[in-house]
């Protein structure tokens, strides 16, 4: 929760909403409605093909959004690097 408080003091707007439906469609619809400059979205790093088959939200958003989409990949866990 402290991360949320830090973001609220940042020099940009941060909002939270809860919707029911297709995440990719909702994100793109809201981006259009709010006329945002960019969308920042997390990504698990699936390949384009696997993203299409599995249904990656970040893949769909990045290909249909009316604005810049920035995909953020999580840093690998220390356990993953040791393997």
What pLDDT, in 10s, does the model give residues 20-72? Answer: 999 999 999 999 999 999 999 988 766 556 555 556 898 899 999 999 999 88
pTM of the model: 0.65
pLDDT at 7 over 90: no
Q: Which residues of 15-40 are buried (b: 16+ CB within 10 A; e: fewer)?
A: eeeeeeeeebeebbeebeeeebeebe
């Amino acid at each position: 929760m402290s991360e949320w408080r830090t973001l609220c003091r940042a020099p940009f707007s941060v909002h939270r909403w809860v919707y029911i439906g297709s995440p990719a469609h909702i994100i793109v619809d809201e981006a259009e409605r709010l006329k945002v400059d960019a969308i920042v979205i997390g990504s698990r790093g699936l390949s384009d093909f696997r993203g299409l088959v599995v249904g990656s939200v970040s893949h769909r958003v990045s290909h249909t959004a009316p604005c810049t989409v920035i995909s953020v990949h999580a840093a690998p866990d220390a356990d993953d690097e040791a393997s």
